[in-house]
Amino acid sequence: MPLEQRKLLTIVTEAALEHELVGEIERLGAHGHTITDARGKGGRGIRNAGWNLSANIRIEVVCTAETAHAIAAALRQRYYGNYAMILFFSDVEVLRPEKF
Amino acid sequence: MPLEQRKLLTIVTEAALEHELVGEIERLGAHGHTITDARGKGGRGIRNAGWNLSANIRIEVVCTAETAHAIAAALRQRYYGNYAMILFFSDVEVLRPEKF
Amino acid sequence: MPLEQRKLLTIVTEAALEHELVGEIERLGAHGHTITDARGKGGRGIRNAGWNLSANIRIEVVCTAETAHAIAAALRQRYYGNYAMILFFSDVEVLRPEKF
């Protein structure tokens, strides 16, 4: 079974950014993404402590290291100052590399 | 604290496959799985762009490398041609290996 | 782009523990966490097979290895005997280490 190395970039941020971030991610060369609704706490304090239980999102992008770093750099420059956002990278192996 | 190496297999696919995939995963020897609803875009185009916000699922299975590869091989053979599906593997350490 | 190593600790457990676990995680030094609703099957049998589709949660904590191990040790001691719970660790790189 042929496996290839890729990066998994996980972004946790404010749900209001979803549409905009998806556009950035695609523009920077990722071929796909997966979004789940989330809640939690980060540097900006508790999110969704009350009634609004889905105001954070968790976006995953499996792509080359170059694309992952390009996306992270763009998001850092554009959103880190003004939005709650964390980013982390991990190494993954993919089964169908031509998809990423 | 005793830690042991396992594989985390993550499958992102169409929600309609949930029941069937859970059966396959168990048949192939995994002792558990975690499912979250997701949306996103992959090789088959945008999913859930409109009203249907839970039509993808993200399945995680923590298991031995052998089981992870057996599940991936079976899913590739049976579903890759006809369904939107991505699979990726990562290395994890587990706290209670007897569960996996 | 400066990247630093951290641990990603993923906890999958019963939704009823959410508030209590968040308190433990913060007390043990994590600066943030992300929670998503989940369903699945583990050592305790099928969860949410019927109408209750959100009775499991998946908690992610990105933190130092020391903090991740301290959280895992505390949860193992306090909850493993009486609750459905799995824990796993993976290595991640973070973009903004001061947040974790």
Note whether residue C47 is domain-resident.
Answer: no
A41–C36 C-beta distance less than 8 A: no
* Residue B36 structure tokens: 């979250």
Place of tokens 């763009």: A74
CATH number at residue B36: 3.30.70.120
Q: What is the mean pLDDT of residues C13-38?
A: 95
- Between C38, C72, C90, which is nearest B35 by CB? C38
Note whether residue C39 is domain-resident.
Answer: no
Range of the domain at C69: 1-33+65-90
What is the pLDDT at residue C51?
40
Q: What is the share, in percent, of chain C residues with pLDDT greater than 70?
A: 83
Of A52, C15, A94, the closest CA to residue B36 belongs to C15
Place of tokens 């900006």: A44
- Selected for mutation to probe chain C from B93, B94, B98 (highest C CB count within 10 Å) is B93
Cβ-proximal residues to B17 (8 Å cutoff; 6+ apart), any chain: B57, B79, B83, B85
Note whether residue C44 is domain-resident.
Answer: no
* Residue C8 structure tokens: 């990603």
**Number of folded domains that form chain C:** 1
Burial classification of residue B30, based on how many CB atoms lie within 10 Å of its CB (0-12 exposed, 13-18 middle, 19 or more buried) = buried
pLDDT digits (tens, 9 = 90+) for A26-73: 999 998 999 999 999 876 545 444 444 448 999 999 999 999 999 999
**Cα C100 to Cα C94: distance, rounded to the nearest angstrom:** 9
- Between A3, A36, A99, which is nearest B58 by CB? A36
Q: What is the share, in percent, of chain B residues with pLDDT greater than 70?
A: 83
3-state secondary structure of B99: helix
Q: What is the pTM of this model?
A: 0.90
**Cα B78 to Cα B90: distance, rounded to the nearest angstrom:** 22
Say yes or no: A36 contacts chain B, CB-CB below 8 A: yes
Q: Give A32 or B49, the one with higher predicted confidence.
A: A32
Give backbone dihedrals phi and psi of B53, rounded to 5 degrees, phi first.
-90, 5
pLDDT digits (tens, 9 = 90+) for B3-31: 999 999 999 999 999 999 999 999 999 98
Whether A34 and B38 have beta carbons less than 8 Å apart is answered as yes
Burial B49-77 (b: 16+ CB within 10 A, else e): eeeeeebbbbbbbbbbeebbbbbbeebee
**One-letter-per-residue 3-state SS of chain C:** CCCEEEEEEEEEEEHHHHHHHHHHHHHCCCCCEEEEEEEEEECCEECCCCCCCCCEEEEEEEECHHHHHHHHHHHHHHHCCCCCEEEEEEEEEECCHHHC
Note whether residue C69 is domain-resident.
Answer: yes
pLDDT digits (tens, 9 = 90+) for A69-83: 999 999 999 998 888
Which of A3-17, A48-62, C52-66 has the lowest average pLDDT? A48-62
* pLDDT above 50 (res B88): yes
